Chains A and B, each alone.
Chain A
C-alpha cells in the first residue's frame, strides 16, 4: 500500500475583499496525482510558484484540499480525527532553520515534539539521544541554536522531527537558505535516515543536484505534475526540463551537449563518475 496517495488533488487560494466577496482564485494545485511507497525517497521538483510547497503543506494537514483526496498512511486528511495521527507520522522540516527551532537549547528543542504527543519523560530522553545521534549532532545537545551554522540548525530541526519517530519526513526546501557545505550536510543526513532507518523521505526542492539521490522524481509546473520517473529518466529529457525553467545538473548538461555534438554518450548521465566511465569506454 502507498504511504501517500494523492488523487486529483486541487487546492485553490481564494482571496477575498473586505466584504467577503471572492476577489481572485489562484489554483496552486491542479489535479495532482502523486504516490509514495513506504521507505521511498521521492523528490518533488519545481520552479517558484509551481505548487510544490502547497503540496508539502497538505501532507502535514497544514492545508486541506479544496477538491480531490489525499491519504497519508492510509488516513484521509479531510477527517478531523486523523489530524494528530497524520502530523505525528509525517514530520515536516521547513525552509528557514531559525523560524522552526522553538527552544533555546538544542536538546530541549528536539524534545519539544515528543513532549507534545505525551511521551513519558524517560522515553523522551532516549529519543532525544537517538535522534541527535542519527543526524550527527549529539555533541551539540547543550548548545544554543543561535550559535550553530545553518546546516547544523537544519539538522537539529530534522532531529526534532525524528524524535517523534515518524514514518515519513517531508522536507520543504530545507537547503534553500544554506551554503553549499550546509546543503551537503543536510542531504547526507537525510539520505542516511532513509537508508539506515527506512524513513520515507519527500524532498521538495528546486536544486537539481539534490534530486540525483532520490529514488523517484516528480516535476511540477503551475500546479500540475508534468514529469515523473527516476532521476535518470527525468534528466535524460534536458529540453523538456528547460521548458519548465529548471536547470539540469552541470554534468548532465555537459553530457547532453556532448551527445548533441555527436559523441556517443548515453542519455541521463547523473554523476561525474558516470560521465568519466562513458567517455573512457
Chain B
C-alpha cells in the first residue's frame, strides 16, 4: 500500500502544465477543489469532468498514473459512499431488514464519490507535473506575506521539501526492516486490529531511530554547505510569471465563475 502514494512523485514530461508557475498551479488547484463542492447537478459535474480531462490531456501524464493515487483512498471512498447511501433520508428504493436505500442517498453517494475521485485526481496532476522543490518554492513565495506575522515560511517550505525527498527513502527502509523482522519470525499479517498494531512496534522503533539518525546526518550536511536559514539566500530557479500563467489564471477564473453560476441557477 505504501507504494501507492503518488504524492511527491514527479512525472517528467515537456508539457504546458509542467511549465506553468507552481503558484499558478496551486491557485488553480485551490479553485478547482472549491468548485467541486459548488455543484449540485450533473451539469456541474460534467463541466468539472471536462475541465479536468482537458488539463490531464494537456499535462501529457498517462492517466494510469493518476488512477494509481486513488488506490490509497479506496477505503475512505467506500466508507463515505456507504454512509451517504444508507443514511440519507428520503423515498426508499430498496429495503431489507433495518437498511433502506433512498433515491436521494443513491444520488448523494454517487456525487460524494465523484467529488473525492476528482479531488484526488485533480490534485495529483499538480504533484505529478511539479517537482517537489518547485512546489515548495511556489508555496514559499505565495505565503511570503505571512512572514510579517512571524510565521517562518521559508523554514516550513524547506521542511516540506525535505520530507518529500525522504518519503521514498523511508518507504524503502520500511520494506527492508519488515523483511528483516519477518526473517526473524515477526508476524505482520495475522491477528485482529489491536494485535496487528502491536506487531508494528518492532517495525516502527527501528524506523524511527533510523529516521532520527538520517535527520542528524542531513542537518550536518546542510550546515557544511553553509545553510543558515532563508536570509541572504538566492535562487537557482527564481519564480517568474510568464504569459502562459496569465492565460491559465484567466481560464481558471472563468471556469470557477461558470461553476458558481451553474451551482446557483441550475
Chain A partners chain B: yes
| Contact residues in B for A69 (Cβ distance below 8 Å) | none
Contact of A62 with B by CB under 8 A:
yes
Q: Does A265 contact B (CB under 8 A)?
A: no
Interface residues as binary, B54-67 with A (CB distance below 8 Å gives 1, 0 otherwise): 00000000000000
- Please indicate the chain A residues that have their CB under 8 angstroms from the CB of B222 in the complex: 102, 112
- A62-B223, A116-B227 known; A100 and B236 CB under 8 Å? no
Q: Which residues of B contact A180 (CB under 8 A)?
A: none
Given contacts A108-B236, A116-B226, A161-B225, contact A94 B220 (CB under 8 A): yes
Which of B42-50, B82-90, B143-151, B159-167 participates in binding chain A?
A: B159-167
Q: CA separation between A108 and B243, bound complex, in Å?
A: 25
B10, B12, B217, B233: the one contacting A115 at CB < 8 Å is: B233
Cβ of B69 < 8 Å from any Cβ of A?
Answer: no
A114 close to chain B: CB less than 8 A: yes
B228 at the interface (CB under 8 A from A): yes
Please state if B226 and A113 are interface contacts (CB–CB under 8 Å).
yes
- Interface SS of chain A: helix, strand, loop or mixed? helix
Please report the C-alpha to C-alpha distance between residue A96 and residue B141 in the assembled complex, in whole angstroms. Answer: 32
A144 close to B (CB within 8 Å): yes
- Flag whether A237 is at the interface (Cβ < 8 A): no
A120: Cβ under 8 A from any B Cβ = yes
User: Complex Cα distance A111/B162, Å?
Assistant: 15
* B235 contacts A by Cβ under 8 Å: yes
Task: Determine if B263 is an interface residue (Cβ-Cβ < 8 Å).
Answer: no
Residue pair B234, A112 in contact (C-beta under 8 Å)? no
Min Cβ gap A63→B in Å is: 10
Q: Please count how many residues in chain B sit with their CB below 8 Å of the partner chain's CB atoms.
A: 31
Which one of B164, B217, B232 lies within 8 Å of A118 (CB-CB)? B232
Given A111-B236, A121-B234, A124-B234; A101-B165 close (CB under 8 Å): yes
Interface pair A94/B226, CB less than 8 Å apart: no
Find out whether the CB atom of B233 lies under 8 angstroms from the CB atom of A118. yes
Residue from A62, A103, A161 within 8 A of B161 (CB atoms): A103
A161 to B227, CA, bound (A): 12
Which of the segments A14-22, A41-49, A83-91, A192-200 contacts the partner chain?
A83-91
Chain B residues within 8 Å of A96, by CB:
214, 217
Q: How far is the CA of A170 from the CA of B257 in the complex (A)?
A: 58
CB–CB B217/A100 < 8 A: yes
Q: Which residues of A are found within 8 Å of B102, using beta-carbon distances?
A: none
- Knowing that A60-B224, A108-B133 are A-B contacts, what are 9 other residue pairs whose CB atoms are under 8 Å apart, sorted by A's residue number? A62-B223, A62-B224, A94-B220, A102-B165, A102-B218, A108-B131, A108-B237, A111-B237, A118-B233
Chain A to chain B: the 8 pairs with minimum beta-carbon distance, closest first: A111-B236, A100-B221, A99-B217, A92-B224, A113-B225, A116-B226, A124-B236, A104-B165
- Residues in chain B within 8 A of chain A (CB atoms): 8, 10, 12, 131-133, 161-162, 164-165, 168-169, 214, 217-218, 220-228, 232-238
